[in-house]
Each structure stands twice: as structure tokens, then as C-alpha cells.
Structure 1
Amino acid sequence: MAEPGGYNQTGRAPKIKNKNAAAIQITAEQLIREAFERQGSVQKAPRQKVLDGEELSDYQMRRRREFEEGVRRNRSNIGEWLRYASWEESQQEIARARSIYERALDIDPRNQTIYIKYAEMEIKNKNINLARNLYDRAVTILPRVSQFWYRYTYMEELLGNINAAREIFDRWMQWEPEPDAWNAFVKFERRYNEIDNARAVFERFVFVHPEPKTWLKWAQFEEETGNTDQVREVFGQAIDRLGEEFMDQHIFISFAKFEVRMREHERARAIYKYALERLPKAKSQSLYNQYTIFEKQFGDKDEIESVVVTKRRMEYENLVRQDPQDYDAWLDYAWLEESAGEVGRVREVYERAIANHPAVLQKPLWRRYIYVWLFYALFEETIARDIERARQVYLLCIKTIPHKHFTFGKLWLQYAWFEIRQQNVDAARKTLGQALGICAKDKIYRGYIALELELREFDRVRTLYSKYLEFNSTNCTTWVEFAQLELALGENDRARALFELAVDQAVLDMPEVLWKAYIDFESSQEDNCDRTRELYERLLNLTDHVKVWISLARFELSSSSLERARAVYERGFARQKELGLKEERLALLESWREMEQENSGDVEAVEKRMPKRVRKRRELEDGSLEEYFDYVFPDDSEQGSRFKLLAKAHLWKQKQAEEG
């Protein structure tokens, strides 16, 4: 026999023999619907009707016994105490209900619900003094619970005890509650038109909660009362009290909008500018947007441009604050201030920039730094028109540079030209002489020479060139320029002597430039072909470059005859063949062919000597093969037979292709 619960005596579930689905399926939805339908048919127990005083006494005794038993079993169940007290109140047993509330407070004296229900009962039964005492107990024990204070002040205000309510608010504010409590106090005073009292509350309010929104509420209050001067006083106190560290852009925006409402547009503009100069960009985006809108409405073109300058100024301030050695940003910042036309601001930016000199001795970093000095001096000279200050900038910059490690020729030259513009030639020469003594370099020599050339002091120029060549005798450009100077002065012998000294130097950086200049000089002289031809021969003894042979051939063509030019080409071709330079031989033949074409010469003879371009293969170091092009010359004896064999092979291959 199966036991209750579907299990048999062995404790195992009975086996189900038929596991097929039932004919009638019952779903969960159907079960829920039937349960809901049957729920409405449940008969509720009828409420008990009390017919006389004895039944009422018996009912009350039974209910009290139940409540007492409930609170005895679980004294900490405050809900049970509240139901007990509420039932006694419903039976008009106020004293008993009060006793129950007191017993509950003995158990949990900090329970807010007990105080609220207790006070509501006393107020409902018009026991005002008892309710007042109860609220006083509550705010004494729990002064941080705001709803007790709200109910206490509301009760006194309903009773018309305005002074008592104000005293309660004063007691409450001594605990420095949240802003909503202060706002309630202000609204209380405004309801009774106590403007001075409300202002005094705001003064205490902003001291306890100095947030920007508190100041804005105070300013709005003063504006609503129509006290314009007091509004400005409030905004002024807010700016002073908060300081730049805790200042909020909305303070300035509200202040400026107030001035706009008062039609004080200049005051509003001054407020916007003051704020934008002091607040960082990250905290002033809304401020800038409002300023732009303001200028579009009430400003002119200059003021709108000032808005743009102010925004860019904020951007540059942010850049230089992040990287004080970003000299490009400093220069852009200074140029911005120059465009604004404020000399004092420009000087301030330049002074701040030059105070951040590079920490390491690397010339690339110092180069951007020196440019800041140069633009500073240029600003003082051309815009500020303070010549003495510009001179001091140059001198201080020269003292700042570590000349033992590196120098900047541009700085010395700029200072020298500055003194020239001030008609102080001796100071300019002294400066460049000092530069050559401290840190001689090519740029300073060239700049000094250019200066003396402008002054037409040719003896000084000769002296400087001599010193320059002693300093660096390998520079061919210097030799050429010195010789060209003498040539321009009509001193041909001096120029020729300089060229001779130059070509005799053991080391030259660009000898081809020097030789070309020397040859051009000699060829420019009248009836001086022999000297030029001699120079070419001297140069060919030093180098066999194909361009020298071509140049000599062109010279012979222009100065003598076509036959002499052909002879030069023949010599050059033979020399290049001797050296085994095939590409140079080809270049020489192409130039020769061009000459013959220009002069209607024997082009066919040159064409016969032109090489054939053939494709070959060669083995590389890694064993792979590489294709390249080679030139086979007809007059090359050692390759003549090979050339003929290749020609025959080419003809045979062409013939096979035609037959196929």
C-alpha cells in the first residue's frame, strides 16, 4: 500500500506503467484562471457588531490582550506598537495610546516614525502643547532629521505663531543643515515680507554653503526685490569669496546678464573680459559662448575681433602652461598680442617666453629659443619704437648663449644690422669683430663681408677675405668670390693671382667650381685663348672627366675651328677607351655628333663609331643571375670578332623567324 505523498513502504516512488500523454491536457494558464475565478466565491467572515457596553468592554479587553501578547513576544517590532497605539486612538483612548507611544519610545527612542505618528495623534486631537513638546523632544534627540523641523515650523506657522516659527528656524540653522532647509527659511521670511530678515538668512546661508548656486539664488532674490546696488554687491562678494580657484563661470554669466538687463552694456563687457582673462579654458567654454552672443548683439566689429583674440589667448595660455618650452606657441602668442595692439601684453609674453630657456645644451632646441629673442628685439625696434630696449634685448641674448658649445651667426648679424640702421657703424663692426674672436664661423665672415660691401669699404673687404681664407682655405666659393671682387674692381692680375693660389691648395671642397670659374675668367679676357687652353690641359692632367673634354671641345669650336674641336674629341675618346669607360665614351660621341649636326659636319662618321646596346647576364655573389646592358663599340678590336658573331647570330635568328 502506498504511503501519503505517493511513496510506498520501501521509500521508493511507485513505478508508472502508462507514460502516455493524458487525453485532457491541463495548462498552467488554465490553473491560474480557475484559481482566480474561485477566489471571488470565497465567503468573507462578517464583521463583529457590538451591541452594548459589556460586549465593547469584552472586545477591547480581548484586543488589548492580543496586542500585549504580540508586543511581549517581540518588543522590537515597532509596527506592532504603532498598530496597538492606532487601535487605542480609534477607541478614543488617547491616554492609553499616548502611554503606548511612550513605551515604544523607551524601546527605540530614535525611531522617526514613532515621533511622527505620536505628534499627528496629538495634533489631530488638538493637544497642541503636547505636540509642541513632542517635536521639541524630537529635534533635541535627532537634530539632523529635517522632517521634524519642517513639521514643527509648519505647525507653528499654521497656528499663527510666526515668531515661534522663526525661532525654530534659527535653532535649526545652528546645525548648518542642507541647502533646502535654508531655502525654506528664506521662503518663510518672504511670505511675511521680511526682506531684511531674508537677506540676513542669505548672509548666513552663503557662509555655510558657499557654492556658486547659493550666491546666484541670493542675487536673484535681490534682483526680485528691486535692489540693483545690492545685486552688484552680492556678485562682488561672490567673486571675492570664491577666488579664482573655486570660481564658476556661471557667476560671471549671471552677473553680465544682469547688467545687460539693466542696459549697462559696458559693465557687462568688462565682466566678460575680466572672467575670460582669469578662468582657464576648461572652465570657461560657456562663458566664451555667452560673450560671443553678447558681442554679436551689442558690440561692433572691433569688439567681435576682441572676442576671437580672447579665445585664442586662452588657447595659447593652455599650450604654454602644458609645455613652457614650446617656443612656437610662445611666438604665436606674442604675434597675437601684437595684432591686438597692446604693447604691454606683448612684452609680458616675450619676457615669460625668454625666461624658459632650454635645460639641455642642444643647438636645435636653442635655435627656436633664439628666434624668440630675435622677434622680441624686432618688436621693440619696429613696433614699440624703443631703440634702447631693443639694444638691451640683443645684448642680453648674446650673454645668454653658451658660446663655448655653440653660437648663432644669425644673432650676431642681426644685431650688427640693427646698429647699422641706427647709423652706428663702429658698434656694428665691433660686434662682428667680437663674434669672429669668440666663435668664428663661415656665416659670420660672409655677413661681415656683405656689410662692408654695402658700405663700399673694399679695403676692409679684402682684409676680411684674407682672414676668411686663413680660417678656411678649402672653401672654393670664398676663393671665387674674392677673385670676382678683384675682377669687378678691374684688378685682373690680382684675380689671376688668387685663382692660382686657389688651384694650388692641397684640399678643396668643390674644385670643379673653382676650375670652372678660373677658366671662365681666362676665357672672358680678350686674346687669351692660350691661357685658357693651358688651363684646360692642366685640368686634364688632374682629371679625365668627360665633361672637361666636352667643355674643351666646345671652347675650341667657339675660339678656333671645327678641326681643333674634332681633335679634342678624338683625344678624349681615345683616353676614355684607354680607361675602359664605356658610358663616358658614349657621352663623348653623343656630344660630338651633336656638334657635327649643328655645324653641318660629318655626322655619318660619328654614327659609325656609335656602340650597340646588348643585353647580358652576370652571376652575382649569391649565385643568381642578373641582366644588364652593355655597349659594344665597332672600333673596339678585342671585341670586334665577338661583335661580328653576335651580328650573324642575330641575322640567323631573324631568318628562322621569317621561315617559320
Structure 2
Amino acid sequence: MSRANEGQVKNRSAAPIQISAEQIIREAADRQEPHILDPVTKVHDAEEYQSYLSSRRKHFEDNIRYRREHIGNWVKYARFEEENKEYERSRSVFERALEVEHRSAELWLRYAEFEMRNEFVNRARNVLDRGVQILPRVDFLWYKYAYMEEMVGDAEKCREVFERWMNWCPDEGAWLSYARFEVRCAKSIATKDGGKQQPILDMATEVMKRYVNEYPCAKSFLKLGKWAEHEAKDISLARTVYESALVELEPEEARQARVFKQFSAFEERQGEYQRARVIYQHAIKLLRLGERSKSIGDKDEEISSNEKYRRDELYKAYVAFEKKHGQKDGIENVILTKQRAEYNKRVESDPNDYDAWFEYAKLEEDHGDTAAVREVYERAISNVPPAQEKQYWKRYIYLWIYYAIYEELEIGDMDRATKVYDACLEIIPHAQFSFAKIWVQAAKLHVRKRDLDAARKLLGKAIGLCGKEKIFIEYISLELTLGEIDRCRALYNNYLKAMPHNCKAWSRYADLERSVGETDRCRALYELAVSQQALDMPEVLWKGYIDFEIEEGEGDMARGLYERLLERTGHVKVWISFAQFEGTEIGRGVKDARDIFDRAYNRLKEDGLKEERVLLLDAWRVFEKTKGDTAGVSSVEAKMPRRIKKKRMQVDEESGAEIGWEEYFDYHFPDDEGAASNLKILDMAAKWKQAQDAESSDDSDSDSD
């Protein structure tokens, strides 16, 4: 059997004897080795006592000899001598230890505590004096020194210790300890005088002022302000300190959120709500709370996460302050600031979210000043779409339009609005695409400025770079409003050269010539238009041409146009319009109209267009009812078809598979070949069904009798 299988469990069923966790813990406790206690030495006389001391001293000396640099051995040795009232020996051990490691602050502290425990005050003072001279940067030695002098009631020496310490420029804790010491001294003096007078804290105040001068930072000023308010109870001094912090400190220190928060909280506690509000508003404007952390063109401002948290807390404190002490305007200002913060967050996360920019600009237009609105628009238009594709630029262009409209209508600065349009036209890649609305809006702005030359120049440039139909239409509309017919003709010529297939352009040009009384030019334009090979909406052009001839009273010309049009297309609406034209005053009469209807009917019958024939017959019947006679109506109704519901199989166009049956309506005309026999069969079937219904009704009557 291999060793690999020796550790495997062969039987996984429960063991017959179960061991609980309690048994395991009890067994572990029973098997622990007993703690070996140090032997107790009993001394019966002085000789044994001296022998015991010698053995212990030899033990400590051996430990020191083995590990001379280990301070714990020296301290234990000195402690042993102290317990046996051998103070000189203990002091000698400490001195020997200091010769080994005089830079050990813990050793100096243990030495001083030994002297203090045994009430050797002068010796303790000497030890601490030596210690602070050798280690002046170790604060707890100074603390111990000052504490000892204060405990023995020697305030002057304690003050001297603090003064010596302050010469080494310690941290804020030392200065605060010095100030608190002066406060205690002042209170003790006031207590000795009977407690009727308030303690004079001038010396403590001077200490705190020296501290601020030594460390001119936001932290020291705030410490002094808090101390002046709560400890010294000097409100004017506290206010002066906070104001000095905002004026005298460096910008990076004075702009800290905690300075404004503590200053405003101080004013709020004093009941100066207006002063507190001014401080909050100044902080929000300076730190741009709820807005961008930096303005356009400024250097990047590095803000730590802790400072960001403090600024958020400052803004929350301002909101709470306005809710408690503010009025309607103040609360609305807070809400606006919060909305600005939300919009800033949206646009910073996605600068190309133009809907957010629209809403942000609208907010500033409704409640902000001109500079804020312009800043938002400038920030928005600086986010150019990343790709030069028109679909990404459609929303972006409206930022420029709204910006220019704001400058023109709200501010009244038309020159700045013109510059906005010019900048927009420069940034658009006209080689790939362009926007006619920008050109048109910019040109209309020049017109409102009464600068027609600039408007014409801009629209001419737009035709060259953009060449869209809207630009031609607006340019022609401008010149037509000004009465410049020759300019309109020149523009229409360029318009038709660029878009010869555009029927609306031909129609508008013809309408222009007709409006100025140039009938021949109008007719020539229509002739030139209908002779074009490719037209987008020829029916509009032909209709306009025919209507023009009818309005001019040229019936023969209109009739000729109808005939020419029918040569190109046999649409049922053309036939109906032709027949209705013949029935008018300038037409040849009802007889010719009937002939045209009949021609159309036969033509559609030959082409097999049943639905178109139905439309023609409906129009023919209406014509006969209005301008014909009863015989004409009867003849038309005799030609009306019969509508029959049928079924046919649907087939998928792509795969050719059968989808299912569908119902549709078919028309059977009386004059169609083969339709008469079908109609007779249908009539006979209808008569047979009527006869069956009559017989069934007779049988039911006889049964009832």
C-alpha cells in the first residue's frame, strides 16, 4: 500500500464516540503547564539583607554588561535601588545610563519622575533643565518641567520655562498650554481677591497673539478666534481675528472653507445674521460653490479631498442658515446655487450634453447676470462636436443661435451678436456640410442693423459655400421686399442653374414675372420649365402653367397644354381636370366635356385601370348632376360598376412562400367583355335566393295555421 493513501479516511460515517468542543477546551486547559512564580526571598537579619542586595545588584550588573545599550535594564536597576531606599545608588545608576545614552528622552523622563516621586524638587528641576537643554525638541520634557513648576506653586519659574520653550518655536499645543496656564494664573489671582472681579486675561491673550504671529496660518487664526470667544469672552477680539484672517493670510490659506464656516458660525452665535449671510455669500462667490472650481483662463486649482468635503459642508451650513434665518430671496438664491451645482456636474461629466447646456443657459438668463450668462454660453460653445458629421452638429448650432439672440434681444448689443454669428460661421466645416439657418439668421441681423450691403455680401457668400434652397428663397425674399426686381431675376437665374429640376423655383420665378405684369416672360419661363428633362414635381409645374393660361383667358392655350400633358401622362386626375375645364365659361361646353370624359373612360378601359375608371365615373356623375341633364346622369350610372368581395392568396415578395388568404374588392363593369355573362349568373343566383326565402316564409305561415 502506498504512503499517499495512508492519510485518507476510509470510513466517513460518524464515530461511535463523539467529542464535543467543551471537552476539547477542557483538555487543552488541563494540559497547560503551570505558571512558574518567582521564589520569595525571606530576609531574617541585616547580613542576609546585604547578601540579597549584593546578589540582585550582581544580576543587574550582569544584565547591563550583557546589553549595555538597553535602557530597560538601567531603569529596572534604578527602580530596584529606589525601592530599597538607596536613592544615591539609584541616582548613580541613572547618571551611568545617561553616560551611555544621553539622547534618550525616556531615560531623562524616568530620572525626573524618580526625583519627583521622592520629593527632591530641586534635583528634579536640575534633571529636567539638563534634559531640555540637551533635547529641546522633545515636547513631553517641557510639559513635565512646566507641570512640575506649576504643581509646586512657582508660577514665575513656570512662566520662565514656557518662555524658554517658546524660543524654540514649538507646535500649537505648547502655545495653547502656555495660554491655558496664564488663564489658570489669572483665575487663581481673581479667586484670592474674593472672586468678585473677572480674571484679567491680558497675558494669555498676548501669548495667543504671539502664537499667531509665529505661525501665520488659517489654523492658528481659527484657534485664536475660538479661544477669544470661548475662553477670553472677548467678542470684539474674536471678530477682529476672523477679519484679519481673511485679509492678512495668503490666498491659499484665506480661501479655505473652514475659515468662512467658523467666521459665519461665530456671527450667527452672536445674532449678527446679516453679517453671517454676507460672509456665506462672499465664500460662495469666492470659492464658486455650486459652480466650476475654476473660471475660464485660470490656472488649475488643486483641491484636496478634505478641502472638497469642507466646502460641501460649508454649502450645507449656508443652506441650513437660510432655512432658519433667511427670507424668500435668500432661499431662492440657495436653490439657484444648488441647481447650478447640478448643471455643472452634468456638463462636467459629459461636455457634449447640449440639452444640459440649454437648460443651464436658460437658468442663468432667468436669474443670473449678464456676465454669468455669457460665461455659460462661452463654455458651451467651446465644446465642439468630436466628429465632423452633421448629425452631431445639429444641436450644437442652436447654442450659437440662442447666444446671438440673447445678445441682440436681452442685452441689445447687436455688434456682439454679429461677432457671435461670424465666429459660428468660421467654426463650421463648410467643405463637409453647412447650415442654412445660420447664414439666414446672420443676414437678417445685418438687415435689422440697416446694413444691406453686409447682408447681401453674406448671402452671396452663403450661396457659394452652402448653396441650399433656403438661402436662395430668403435672399430673393429680401430683394423682393426692397423692390429690387432685377436682383431677384439674377438670383432666380442662379437658383435655376444650381437646381434646374426644382419645380417650385420655376413656379416662383414665373409668379414673380406675372406679378410685375410680364406675361410673355412668364409664359416663356413655363415653356422652358416644362421642356426640362428631369423635374421633381412636374404636376405642380403643369398645373401652375394651365392655371396661368386660364386666368389670362387663353382657353385655346390651356386646351393645348392639356393635350400636351395627356401625351406625357394618362393620369385620371388630368382627364377629370380637362373635362371640368371644358365645362367652364372659357371652355367649349358640356358636349366637349362629355367627349373628354368618354375618351378618358375608353383610355382607362384599354389600360385595365378599374379603380381609376371608378374615380372618373364618380367625377363624371357629379359633373352631369351640376351642369348636365337627367339623360346624361342615367347614361353615366349605367356604366357604374358593381363591387364584389373576393379572396386571393398572399405571397411573400422575398421568399415567394404563401402567407395566407386576404379579402379585396373587385369591380365588374357592365360594358366589359365577359362581364355580362357573369352578371347574369349573379342575377340568377340572387333571384333563386329570394325565391328560397319566400318559400321558407310560406311554409312557416302554413305550419302556424
Task: Output aligned runs, 1:159-558, within 5 Å.
Answer: 159-169=152-162, 172=165, 179-192=172-185, 193=201, 194-204=203-213, 206-207=215-216, 210=217, 212-224=218-230, 225=232, 226-228=234-236, 231-238=239-246, 241=249, 243-244=251-252, 247-280=255-288, 281=290, 283=308, 284-315=311-342, 332-340=359-367, 342-347=369-374, 349-350=376-377, 371-391=398-418, 408-425=435-452, 428-429=455-456, 431-433=458-460, 435-436=462-463, 440-455=467-482, 457-458=484-485, 460-487=487-514, 494-522=521-549, 531-545=557-571, 548=574
Q: 1:365 to 1:639 in 2, by over 3 A?
A: same
Identity of aligned residues (%): 40
What is the SS of the residue equivalent to 1:473?
coil
Provide the rounded CA distance (Å) in 2 between the counterparts of 1:359 and 1:575: 61
Provide the rounded CA distance (Å) in 2 between the counterparts of 1:495 and 1:355: 50
> Which residue identity lines up with residue 315 of structure 2 in the other structure?
Y
> Which residue identity lines up with residue 610 of structure 2 in the other structure?
R
Which residue in the other structure is 1:571 paired with? 602
**CA offsets per residue over residues 26-59 of structure 1, 9 Å max, x none?**
95677799999xx9xx9x9997665554444344
- Kept after mapping to 1: 8 A contact 2:526/2:545: yes
- Kept after mapping to 2: 8 A contact 1:436/1:445: yes
Provide the rounded CA distance (Å) in 2 between the counterparts of 1:149 and 1:327: 64
Task: Output aligned runs, 1:601-620, within 5 Å.
Answer: 608=641, 613-616=646-649
TM-score calculated relative to the size of structure 1: 0.74
Alignment: residue pair count? 613
Provide the rounded CA distance (Å) in 2 between the counterparts of 1:572 and 1:135: 130
Q: 1:122 to 1:596 in 2, by over 3 A?
A: same
- Kept after mapping to 2: 8 A contact 1:617/1:626: yes
> Which residue identity lines up with residue 152 of structure 1 in the other structure?
Y
> Which residue identity lines up with residue 574 of structure 1 in the other structure?
K
- Kept after mapping to 2: 8 A contact 1:572/1:588: no
Q: 1:287 to 1:82 in 2, by over 3 A?
A: closer
Deviation of residue 121 (structure 1)?
Answer: 1.4
Deviation of residue 338 (structure 1)?
Answer: 3.3
Q: 1:133 to 1:616 in 2, by over 3 A?
A: same
> Which residue identity lines up with residue 614 of structure 2 in the other structure?
L
What is the SS of the residue equivalent to 1:287?
helix
What is the SS of the residue equivalent to 1:477?
helix
> Which residue identity lines up with residue 243 of structure 1 in the other structure?
P
Which residue in the other structure is 1:116 paired with? 109
Provide the rounded CA distance (Å) in 1 between the counterparts of 2:99 and 2:166: 29
- Kept after mapping to 2: 8 A contact 1:597/1:603: no
Provide the rounded CA distance (Å) in 1 between the counterparts of 2:348 and 2:168: 43
Deviation of residue 462 (structure 1)?
Answer: 4.2
Does residue 586 (structure 1) correspond to residue 611 (structure 2)? The answer is yes
Deviation of residue 94 (structure 1)?
Answer: 0.6
> Which residue identity lines up with residue 528 of structure 2 in the other structure?
L
> Which residue identity lines up with residue 91 of structure 1 in the other structure?
N
- Kept after mapping to 2: 8 A contact 1:557/1:564: no
Provide the rounded CA distance (Å) in 1 between the counterparts of 2:243 and 2:150: 33
Provide the rounded CA distance (Å) in 1 between the counterparts of 2:428 and 2:38: 106
What 5-or-longer segments of structure 2 have no aligned partner?
1-14, 186-200, 294-307, 626-632, 683-705
Deviates more, 1:590-599 or 1:420-429: 590-599
Which residue in the other structure is 2:629 paired with? none
What 5-or-longer segments of structure 1 have no aligned partner?
1-18, 578-583, 648-660
- Kept after mapping to 1: 8 A contact 2:617/2:640: no
What is the SS of the residue equivalent to 2:648?
strand
Q: 1:164 to 1:54 in 2, by over 3 A?
A: same
- Kept after mapping to 2: 8 A contact 1:614/1:632: no
Q: 1:238 to 1:189 in 2, by over 3 A?
A: farther
Q: 1:88 to 1:587 in 2, by over 3 A?
A: farther
TM-score calculated relative to the size of structure 2: 0.70
Deviation of residue 240 (structure 1)?
Answer: 5.8
Q: 1:594 to 1:396 in 2, by over 3 A?
A: closer
Deviation of residue 125 (structure 1)?
Answer: 1.6
Deviates more, 1:239-248 or 1:495-504: 239-248
Q: 1:302 to 1:240 in 2, by over 3 A?
A: same
Provide the rounded CA distance (Å) in 1 between the counterparts of 2:446 and 2:284: 41
- Kept after mapping to 2: 8 A contact 1:71/1:77: yes
Q: 1:407 to 1:573 in 2, by over 3 A?
A: closer
- Kept after mapping to 2: 8 A contact 1:546/1:572: no
- Kept after mapping to 2: 8 A contact 1:82/1:101: yes
- Kept after mapping to 1: 8 A contact 2:576/2:597: no
What is the SS of the residue equivalent to 1:85?
helix
Task: Output aligned runs, 1:144-159, within 5 Å.
Answer: 145-159=138-152
Provide the rounded CA distance (Å) in 1 between the counterparts of 2:212 and 2:151: 27
**CA offsets per residue over residues 492-543 of structure 1, 9 Å max, x none?**
55544332221112222222332333344455566x6655454343233223
What is the SS of the residue equivalent to 2:647?
strand
Provide the rounded CA distance (Å) in 2 between the counterparts of 1:31 and 1:351: 81
